[in-house]
Chain A
Amino acid sequence: MKRFFQHTLLSFGLLLLLSSSTSCSNHSETSKGKIAVVISTLNNPWFVVLGEAAVQRAEELGYEAVLFDSQNNPSKEQEHFDNLLSSGYKAVLFNPTDADGSAVNAKAAARAGVGVFCMDREINEPGACVTQILSDNYSGCIQLGQYFVKVMNGCGNYVEILGIVGDNNTWARSRGFHSVVDCYEDLHMLAQQTADFDQNKAMEVMESMMQANPNIDAVFCGNDAMAMGAYQAVLGAGKENHIKVFGFDGAEDCVNAIREGKVEATGMQFPKTMAITAAELADRWLKGERDLPKKLPVAVELVNGMNVSHYGHFGRLD
């Protein structure tokens, strides 16, 4: 009886070993390797869409894809890079936290032979990345600025809420907007302050701006999360019928707010397009193609009350 149990246990163990080795070999046959998707923050739905779309496309292309959240913290981002460079990842689909600070991580990856593909946010070290797929923020904010002037009828007082100061997108958006609005001398900027692309911070910043400047007619925010935060502050102050809110991103809640007449306009970036393009370029690079564009801008489209029915789910509906 004892011998029977020993034999049964042994056979079971052998079967288990065999099945696990079979599954391992199957896995190594089906997966082309590992791709890391490092996102600046998953605390903003827009970036969640960017990250998940990148993971999904990388998996569809046959890679094992893992999502990392840098929590808008450069040192957390560096930890991720340290880990992924020692864990056999072949490429990184990278949404950096800082245009200058993140360059170190991209360079370390490049030295290790790991391809870096920036999504949405730029780093100031173009040689460290294979390709940077970026929203054309400047042009997008020119369109937004022109619409702002139209809505404001070329006059009034406004405030601006900026994103993260170390991010190039913050300045590309602000400069695009100001390249238009500053031409109109009857439009006066009363205050300009950063809220780090964060909804709660934007609400606090807007509250203090309204206290200091009771005659605000409009607010331009560097992203939609901040626009929604600013709108909450405006709503709290009972000025929702007077202060016009403008955002940028094309986030779902902001597009819905435009539909409901709460927000005037936003610039639709296409996070899914950027993520899919990054994953596909990484695939081509891993297959040996080296003649890839260094920078690839993605056009931004103005979304306002007149065309909002065409937009949703972080892109165009049609």
Chain B
Amino acid sequence: MSHIMDTSVVLINPSAMNKVIKYVIIAALFLVALWFSFYTEPLSVRKEREALKQYKPEQLVEHYWTTGLSDLEANALEVGNFITALKNDPQTLRENSGRVLGIGSNVCYVLKGEADDVSFADNEFHFTLHGIEFTIPAKYIFGNTARDACGWFNIDDFQNTMDFNAVSACMNQRIKDLVIGDKVQHAAEYTKCRFCGSIEVKPETKSLDELTLYPYILELQ
């Protein structure tokens, strides 16, 4: 009986209990320290994580081009609808479908359509649609129209404007290399096209005679 009594005294002894808690905590801390000391991960995972820390505009463009292009085409304005809206209510058109980068900037739109009078001259594709002469540059693609019209990128998300501008350079390069690509070599053979691309107009514009189009999609026949 006295033995049992003694055991119960040991079990409820507060100082002994504190010691147990202390040892448990120390052991837990030791295990945590041990885990972080010997934590391993596959090299490929590690490399991938390190790569993500570095800013790579090519990867960023590739990601959006792969995931966002079908939506971009689905939401693009038909050329005829664009012309009518620009003439009748440019303000509403701008608010609903236009994208403006900053103060005084041109308004960018994404248009889609089909044409059957395609020609090629001076390193440019030409066609007329709804009375507007469209030009698609095939050799020199400059500017931020493709970047600003698509709405994929927000300047506030970039560390500085140089990183933001690097996206433009990548997009233009991609249009030149992949969208236009080797179509130039067979340019004379084509008469028809289906396209989805970016254009920009001055804020005060109500009617147009000509437009330069930077294509995201260009199918020629």
Contact = CB atoms under 8 A, between A and B. Distances in A.
Contact of A142 (B105, B142, B160): B142
B104 interface: yes
B142 A179 contact: yes
Contacts of A126: 156, 159-160
Given A277-B103, A298-B102, A138 B144 contact: yes
B162 interface: yes
B104 A99 contact: no
B105 A146 contact: no
Interface stretch (A85-93, A170-178, A231-239, A246-254): A170-178
A77 interface: no
B185 interface: no
A180 B156 CA distance: 26
B102 A122 contact: no
Given A138-B144, A146-B142, A172-B165, A99 B160 contact: yes
B214 to A, nearest CB: 13
A309 interface: no
A164 to B, nearest CB: 15
Nearest to A169: B161
Nearest to B144: A139
Interface residues of B, number: 20
Interface in A133-151: 134, 136-139, 142, 145-146
A124 B105 contact: no
A142 B143 contact: yes
Contacts of A270: 103-104
A261 interface: no
Given A138-B144, A180-B140, A297 B101 contact: yes
B156 A122 contact: no
Given A138-B144, A179-B169, A172 B103 contact: no
B159 A296 contact: no
Contacts of A27: none
B105 to A, nearest CB: 5
Interface in B135-190: 139-140, 142-144, 155-156, 159-162, 165, 168-169
A294 interface: yes
A277 B104 CA distance: 12
Nearest to A134: B161
Contacts of A168: 160-162
A1 interface: no
Interface in A272-309: 273, 277, 293-299, 301
5 contacts: A136-B102, A171-B162, A172-B162, A295-B155, A296-B102
